[in-house]
Amino acid sequence: MSPALWDGLHRVSTATLTSELLRAGLRNTFLTGVKPLKPDQRLVGYAFTLRYIPSREDLDFQVDYDNTRDPQRLAVEAMGERQVLVIDARGELAAASFGHILATRIQQRGAAGLVTDGALRDASRMNTLTLPVYCAGVHGTTSSVRHRAVDANVPIGCAGVAIFPGDVIVGDEDGVVAIPSALAEDIAQKAIEREQLETYILGRVESGESIVGVYPPDERTIMDYRASLDPDGHG
Amino acid sequence: MSPALWDGLHRVSTATLTSELLRAGLRNTFLTGVKPLKPDQRLVGYAFTLRYIPSREDLDFQVDYDNTRDPQRLAVEAMGERQVLVIDARGELAAASFGHILATRIQQRGAAGLVTDGALRDASRMNTLTLPVYCAGVHGTTSSVRHRAVDANVPIGCAGVAIFPGDVIVGDEDGVVAIPSALAEDIAQKAIEREQLETYILGRVESGESIVGVYPPDERTIMDYRASLDPDGHG
Amino acid sequence: MSPALWDGLHRVSTATLTSELLRAGLRNTFLTGVKPLKPDQRLVGYAFTLRYIPSREDLDFQVDYDNTRDPQRLAVEAMGERQVLVIDARGELAAASFGHILATRIQQRGAAGLVTDGALRDASRMNTLTLPVYCAGVHGTTSSVRHRAVDANVPIGCAGVAIFPGDVIVGDEDGVVAIPSALAEDIAQKAIEREQLETYILGRVESGESIVGVYPPDERTIMDYRASLDPDGHG
Amino acid sequence: MSPALWDGLHRVSTATLTSELLRAGLRNTFLTGVKPLKPDQRLVGYAFTLRYIPSREDLDFQVDYDNTRDPQRLAVEAMGERQVLVIDARGELAAASFGHILATRIQQRGAAGLVTDGALRDASRMNTLTLPVYCAGVHGTTSSVRHRAVDANVPIGCAGVAIFPGDVIVGDEDGVVAIPSALAEDIAQKAIEREQLETYILGRVESGESIVGVYPPDERTIMDYRASLDPDGHG
Amino acid sequence: MSPALWDGLHRVSTATLTSELLRAGLRNTFLTGVKPLKPDQRLVGYAFTLRYIPSREDLDFQVDYDNTRDPQRLAVEAMGERQVLVIDARGELAAASFGHILATRIQQRGAAGLVTDGALRDASRMNTLTLPVYCAGVHGTTSSVRHRAVDANVPIGCAGVAIFPGDVIVGDEDGVVAIPSALAEDIAQKAIEREQLETYILGRVESGESIVGVYPPDERTIMDYRASLDPDGHG
Amino acid sequence: MSPALWDGLHRVSTATLTSELLRAGLRNTFLTGVKPLKPDQRLVGYAFTLRYIPSREDLDFQVDYDNTRDPQRLAVEAMGERQVLVIDARGELAAASFGHILATRIQQRGAAGLVTDGALRDASRMNTLTLPVYCAGVHGTTSSVRHRAVDANVPIGCAGVAIFPGDVIVGDEDGVVAIPSALAEDIAQKAIEREQLETYILGRVESGESIVGVYPPDERTIMDYRASLDPDGHG
């Protein structure tokens, strides 16, 4: 993706991206119930997935994790720049699915964000990070009571949405959308253009016009919009 | 409703109004799970209802709405001053039920507020409006994926409460209460009086008194309260 | 509990306490879904429990409570310093379980906090208290529509956790943990020590180190940590 | 309660009893979601309540219960004839709340039934009992994983309904209704009469009549009904 | 719809119909969570819709309904042959949405069935009807505690599916599917044909063949299937 | 596992197995909410796992599956004798997760059973199979609307329980328990013995004895039990 598109993705809303994905035939791309820890954060990156299953006492509940074998720990030390850790925590909200020391580590490694359909702990410390963090809840209990990491970079479900490694993950105040990598450039381009048009429409509605003919725009409004982009008519 | 009562409704809490409705025999008037987008907002207006059903692919999912026929769009352009758009979105949180351009338009038309038991999108832009907005969630996906508007100004259920067109809708930080129009003046009057009494009681509790005899107030406390309203005894 | 430990409990996180309880074999000590009204509040105190059952019209729904017999009212006037009112509201979110005048009263009596797995009303007034308040929701309807208090200072369940009178209740931004009284000193001591170690570990991770050997700490890291506590080696 | 009324309660439906309770002002008397293990069973008896809270590892999870101290075991050996064990299991469906050996024992002691808003285990063996059993689910895991009995014969909530010791519990294929003991004779009498009338009305509807004038019955229909009870007019 | 198609609809499964609707682009046509009262029943008819909202004490909770004005009662006496009463009860399971005397009446009027996304009462008497009945639960409490009928033969949502008056409603042991009236003949025709093919495929799988080439059928299997329909090759 | 143990597993209940797993420290082995299609069926076999994620329109929703590449189809043709297909359908109940033709095929291949935490379709045809089938619901819609199979024979979560390929899966009328393969022989042996003891205890309770000293059995009862196994004292 070109730097311009990548930059543009930081400015378009997840609402606009979701609408462009719908125009492309994809209805189920927004993660229901996953919210930003800090409302004004923006997230753009490539999905690095991590899959959890329920824990079992003979395998988990260890006090200390084995950093040379535990898939969660291996994932943390494998993440690179522009990658977003996306965790399939099965929507489990009765224990955390990640903690702030690991979040600090992936931030240090250049990660672009953290997304889970489970809970997080240490919310107050998480809030001191610059890393954009999205979760479905907060819980003080450590992950091993409910979760065992089993593999990374496989296709997962997260908050009801299919996530493949490499999908483009975008987050804003509403939440998180996953764009299939093959569609990402096209969707980004269209969303950036669409948002320009909607800003123009919003301006007219804010000035007191009816939505009739304006939203959705009829041909006349589209023409006016184009003229507004090129006020001198040199287009 | 007299301007004084109308003004008074902006100062009484939904908790006090709900209690007065309970004294009148109505137990189920507060919209469970519907929250303000901005905590300090206040809402007072008359219900203008809009009813949604699940969408169906051969009818919905159009990219553009027909402003001359779609009941949602007709409702937007029919709303007047002091009216609150109340949407029956069946508690559906997996898509939005209204967007910020339409919300801007009803604000321009003088609408008093927007209430839905579904989700909204573009929360960050919604937050720039002066329109008080209440919803049960946030979701980036456009409404047509889940919703189809079928009619307006019919009785609806919203968040488990019966709403009739013209009901008085009041919102504060706790959420939203619906007052049947026939009871509205009486309930408003009693709530304003009740809140005065509770402020007096609170003052005594804040000064360290026991609740015994004070909350609920016994005859002596009521007498003291009345005296406090008329400190010179001129009654 | 010694004053030093008591003070220390105000600084350790519920996440650390929950982990120490897990090391002691207790997995289910954090109240799922119970959130602070104000994010930056801290809570430490002893549980004073209050048990609700569903209300019934021939017993409840009175306009005024009898302060000489109602268990809720008797509890309010029985609470002492360092006590936290913990309400078993059966997770019911369709009515409030406590109001702001009573909360003001227990604050006046020196109570350390208020915790409920139900809803609260008058959130905006609750927010003006210094009392730390935790709840699972907000609802404008008074408690008698759904709740009847039946007894106090009995073992209860709250948000899925067993609470016995006298348990040590600790709350922070994540939520609330209950420490059985018999374990409280030991858990507090270990959590305070653990948090020191985690602060040290976090510092190293923030400086860019890998988690390998550091989190969990290997022997070398533990030795470095101990040296850091005693930089002159006079240990 | 007279033997005739007691017998009558075995023939009236929970639907009719619930309607008579509603006429007396009580709306919330039927246990939502609690179903009979065997559809054709009938239950009539007096409530013997048992209260559970969440279990905790340092108190529960024992392999064997102490029959001299555990409130569940003491309750089993305290139950008498015509009593129905009603368990407040907090709606917890992820473990059983009672097993078939204890159910066999209360059947031997003459108990009239078993009702829980939790789950039961050993459904196939439970089905061999003559004891009427109602539950909200089935789960193979023993109760101590989730439940600890704390007291008996206190007021409880069960499936959202207040149950006091001594309430009259009636069950049929729809489920279970709780009749406050003070109202039981009156409600039973009225329900028996009401059901006779409804049988008459049903007969007329089955013969092809419109519901107009018949259901609800107008004065003429009531007169015809009375005549039908006394076909010779000797009334 | 031709009598042959109508008859055929009684033999094809809702699974097959749902798949044909999916091929036509409609994904959301099966009513989630609505189950037959009697497993072996079959339902085919045209939707006659009835819409409920939450009840309110000043309007409802009457002991007796007004048969000349209540929309529920008017609907009962307006239903004709081949019509299925489909009730939008908002998924409310804490009270019934219809009772057995009214069900008897619509059976007498020739109705083809009863479908609700709420609960029913008097299940044991409902089971004596020949009318096919589908519901989401059973509850002893009469409908007025939760429901007020507001209109009939308007578009509704039922169990998450859009239902328009006149839609073809088909039910079997799995549950209920709604076929938009404009598509009904085409879908019925294709489903009948598809089911013939699947019966052929099932026969081959039952005889021990692999699914490869058979399910889905490749060209050869299709040819074999056609030959099987015309064993003498006279086509 | 020896043939005797294997046979024994067909007679012990999931309740007894779950209790033995609890004695071994494993609390979470029974699949909450997964029920047998036919109550009297028994299931014993080794887990063959299949993992689903949410479907996406550009990848799924095909009318026909590719039997040479689709993981679901490959799994079907890879299953062997004594294997139980265990599907991680994420608890999704708004579409089926498997159909009757594929179920017929795995029955033909000698599979021991089918378990899913999602829904199934064609329940009436599923019921004609001898294959024991367990599911969390029934839905007429084909799986591709919600599910995409991604891999087989990996660790999964199913109904909140960790399932590893090769785990011993046992089902009865209550539902399904998963026994880790390393523990299976030991748990089976203990459960068979335990059930013998419980049958003896049940006999004594059925004969009218108190549970005191009998359940749990004291030393005397254990001695009597042993004598009962060896009535001639030749032990």
8 Å CB contact between B175 and B34: yes
pTM of the full predicted structure?
0.96
pLDDT per residue as tens digits for the range B182-235: 999 999 999 999 999 999 999 999 999 999 999 999 999 999 999 999 877 665
* Residue E39 pLDDT: 85
F25 interaction partners in chain A (CB closer than 8 Å): 57-58
C96 interaction partners in chain B (CB closer than 8 Å): 15
Max Cα-Cα span within chain C: 74
Task: Determine whether the interchain pair B58/E157 forms a contact, defined as Cβ–Cβ distance below 8 Å.
Answer: no
Where does residue C184 fall: left (phi above 0), alpha (psi -120 to 50 degrees), or beta otherwise?
alpha
* Residue C11 pLDDT: 95
* Residue E156 pLDDT: 98
Establish if D139 touches chain F: CB-CB under 8 angstroms. yes
Q: Is the pLDDT reported for residue F60 higher than 70? A: no
Establish if A76 touches chain C: CB-CB under 8 angstroms. yes
pLDDT per residue as tens digits for the range A162-185: 999 999 999 999 999 999 999 999
8 Å CB contact between A78 and A103: no
Task: Determine whether the interchain pair D56/C26 forms a contact, defined as Cβ–Cβ distance below 8 Å.
Answer: yes
* Residue E65 pLDDT: 72
pLDDT per residue as tens digits for the range F95-117: 999 999 999 999 999 999 999 99
Task: Determine whether the interchain pair E93/D19 forms a contact, defined as Cβ–Cβ distance below 8 Å.
Answer: no
Mean pLDDT of E112-126: 96
Task: Determine whether the interchain pair B54/E160 forms a contact, defined as Cβ–Cβ distance below 8 Å.
Answer: yes
* Residue B11 pLDDT: 95
Share above pLDDT 90 across residues of chain B, in percent, rounded to a whole number: 90
Mean pLDDT of A191-219: 96
Rounded to the nearest angstrom, the minimum Cα separation between F127 and chain A is 30
Non-local (6+) Cβ contacts of E217 within 8 A are E197, E201, E225
* Residue A39 pLDDT: 85
Neighbour tally for C175: CB within 10 Å: 29
Instruction: Pick the range with the lowest mean pLDDT from A6-15, B55-64, F83-92.
Output: B55-64
Non-local (6+) Cβ contacts of A3 within 8 A are none
Task: Determine whether the interchain pair D150/C154 forms a contact, defined as Cβ–Cβ distance below 8 Å.
Answer: yes
Q: Is the pLDDT reported for residue A63 higher than 70? A: no
One-letter amino acid at C128 equals T
8 Å CB contact between E142 and E62: no
Chain C residue with minimum CA distance to D90: C90
8 Å CB contact between D180 and C58: yes
Task: Determine whether the interchain pair A142/C174 forms a contact, defined as Cβ–Cβ distance below 8 Å.
Answer: no
Establish if D212 touches chain E: CB-CB under 8 angstroms. yes
> What is d(CA E135, CA D78) in angstroms, rounded to the nearest whole number?
40
Establish if C142 touches chain D: CB-CB under 8 angstroms. no
Task: Determine whether the interchain pair F105/E30 forms a contact, defined as Cβ–Cβ distance below 8 Å.
Answer: no
* Residue D39 pLDDT: 85
Chains E and C touch (3+ CB pairs under 8 A): no
Establish if B162 touches chain E: CB-CB under 8 angstroms. yes
Phi/psi of residue A207, nearest 5 degrees: -85, 0
Non-local (6+) Cβ contacts of F14 within 8 A are D140, F30, F170, F171, F172, F174, F175, F176, F177
Instruction: Nearest by CB to B27, from C77, C121, C145: name it.
Output: C145
What residues of chain D score a pLDDT lower than 50?
A: 235
Chains B and F touch (3+ CB pairs under 8 A): no
Rounded to the nearest angstrom, the minimum Cα separation between C98 and chain B is 12
Query: Parallel, antiparallel, or unpaired for β F133-135 and F113-116?
Result: parallel
* Residue D31 pLDDT: 98
Non-local (6+) Cβ contacts of D86 within 8 A are D47, D48, D49, D50, D115, D116, D156, D158, D163, D169, D178
Instruction: Nearest by CB to B67, from A22, A32, A212: name it.
Output: A212
Q: Which of B14, B23, B30 to mutate to test the interface with C (most CBs of C within 10 A)?
A: B30
Task: Determine whether the interchain pair D154/C150 forms a contact, defined as Cβ–Cβ distance below 8 Å.
Answer: yes
Instruction: Nearest by CB to A162, from F54, F163, F182: name it.
Output: F54
Rounded to the nearest angstrom, the minimum Cα separation between C55 and chain D is 6
Establish if F201 touches chain D: CB-CB under 8 angstroms. yes
* Residue A60 pLDDT: 60
pLDDT per residue as tens digits for the range A7-20: 999 999 999 999 99
* Residue B60 pLDDT: 61
Q: Which helix (H) or strand (E) holds E191?
A: helix E184-206
* Residue D40 pLDDT: 84
> What is d(CA F88, CA A155) in angstroms, rounded to the nearest whole number?
14
E32 interaction partners in chain F (CB closer than 8 Å): 93-94, 139
Where does residue D175 fall: left (phi above 0), alpha (psi -120 to 50 degrees), or beta otherwise?
left
DSSP C87-143: EE-TT--SSBS--HHHHHHHHHTT--EEEESSEES-HHHHTTSSS-EEESEE-SS-G
Establish if C208 touches chain A: CB-CB under 8 angstroms. yes
D56 interaction partners in chain C (CB closer than 8 Å): 26, 28, 162, 180
* Residue E118 pLDDT: 98
Establish if A104 touches chain C: CB-CB under 8 angstroms. yes
What residues of chain C score a pLDDT lower than 50?
A: none
Task: Determine whether the interchain pair F216/D67 forms a contact, defined as Cβ–Cβ distance below 8 Å.
Answer: yes
> What is d(CA D17, CA D133) in angstroms, rounded to the nearest whole number?
19
8 Å CB contact between D141 and F30: yes
Q: Is the pLDDT reported for residue E62 higher than 70? A: no
* Residue D61 pLDDT: 53
Please return the burial class of C208, using the count of CB atoms within 10 Å of its CB with bins 0-12, 13-18 and 19+. exposed
Average pLDDT, chain E: 94
Please return the burial class of F208, using the count of CB atoms within 10 Å of its CB with bins 0-12, 13-18 and 19+. exposed
Query: What 3-state class would DSSP assign to B36?
Result: strand
F59 interaction partners in chain A (CB closer than 8 Å): 162
Query: Parallel, antiparallel, or unpaired for β E161-163 and E43-54?
Result: unpaired
Cβ contacts below 8 Å, chain D against chain F, sum to: 87
Instruction: Nearest by CB to B205, from C65, C104, C141: name it.
Output: C104
Could you tell me which residues are beta bridge partners of residue D83?
D46
Mean pLDDT of A139-154: 96
Establish if C184 touches chain D: CB-CB under 8 angstroms. no
Instruction: Nearest by CB to C30, from A105, A123, A140: name it.
Output: A140
Q: Which of E10, E11, E17, E19 to mutate to test the interface with F (most CBs of F within 10 A)?
A: E19
Where are the alpha helices (H) located in B35-131, listed in sequence order?
71-78, 100-108, 123-126
* Residue D62 pLDDT: 55
Categorize the per-residue pLDDT at F39 as very low, low, confident or very high, splitting at 50, 70 and 90: confident
Instruction: Nearest by CB to A58, from F56, F163, F180: name it.
Output: F180
Establish if B75 touches chain A: CB-CB under 8 angstroms. no
User: H/E/C letters for each residue in E62-131?
Assistant: CCCCCCCCCHHHHHHHHCCCCEEEEEECCCCCCCECCCHHHHHHHHHCCCCEEEECCEECCHHHHCCCCC
Instruction: Nearest by CB to C202, from A64, A76, A104: name it.
Output: A104
Task: Determine whether the interchain pair B13/C140 forms a contact, defined as Cβ–Cβ distance below 8 Å.
Answer: yes
Q: Report CA torsion sign: D226, D182, C97, C34.
A: negative
Rounded to the nearest angstrom, the minimum Cα separation between C160 and chain D is 6
Task: Determine whether the interchain pair B124/A177 forms a contact, defined as Cβ–Cβ distance below 8 Å.
Answer: no
D93 interaction partners in chain C (CB closer than 8 Å): none
Establish if E70 touches chain D: CB-CB under 8 angstroms. no
Within 13 Å, how many C-alpha atoms sit on residue A28's CB side? 20
CA distances (Å), origin E21, targets E25, E45, E179, F144: 6, 17, 8, 13
One-letter amino acid at B147 equals H
Q: Which helix (H) or strand (E) holds A12?
A: none
Task: Determine whether the interchain pair B67/A213 forms a contact, defined as Cβ–Cβ distance below 8 Å.
Answer: yes
C210 interaction partners in chain A (CB closer than 8 Å): 77, 105
A172 interaction partners in chain B (CB closer than 8 Å): 124
Chains that touch C (3 or more CB pairs under 8 A): A, B, D
Q: Is the pLDDT reported for residue E109 higher than 80? A: yes
8 Å CB contact between F37 and E39: no
D55 interaction partners in chain C (CB closer than 8 Å): 28, 162
Cβ contacts below 8 Å, chain D against chain E, sum to: 87
Q: Is the pLDDT reported for residue F235 higher than 70? A: no
* Residue F91 pLDDT: 98
8 Å CB contact between E166 and E33: no
Please return the burial class of D162, using the count of CB atoms within 10 Å of its CB with bins 0-12, 13-18 and 19+. buried
* Residue F179 pLDDT: 98
Neighbour tally for A110: CB within 10 Å: 12
* Residue D148 pLDDT: 95
Rg of the Cα atoms in chain A: 20
Task: Determine whether the interchain pair A64/C216 forms a contact, defined as Cβ–Cβ distance below 8 Å.
Answer: yes
pLDDT per residue as tens digits for the range E139-182: 999 999 999 999 999 999 999 999 999 999 999 999 999 999 99
Categorize the per-residue pLDDT at E61 as very low, low, confident or very high, splitting at 50, 70 and 90: low
pLDDT per residue as tens digits for the range C181-230: 999 999 999 999 999 999 999 999 999 999 999 999 999 999 999 999 98
* Residue C233 pLDDT: 62
* Residue A17 pLDDT: 98
Task: Determine whether the interchain pair E208/F65 forms a contact, defined as Cβ–Cβ distance below 8 Å.
Answer: no
One-letter amino acid at E39 equals P
Q: Which helix (H) or strand (E) holds E52?
A: strand E43-54
> What is d(CA D122, CA E163) in angstroms, rounded to the nearest whole number?
41
ipTM, two decimals: 0.94
Q: Which of A10, A12, A21, A27 to mutate to test the interface with B (most CBs of B within 10 A)?
A: A27
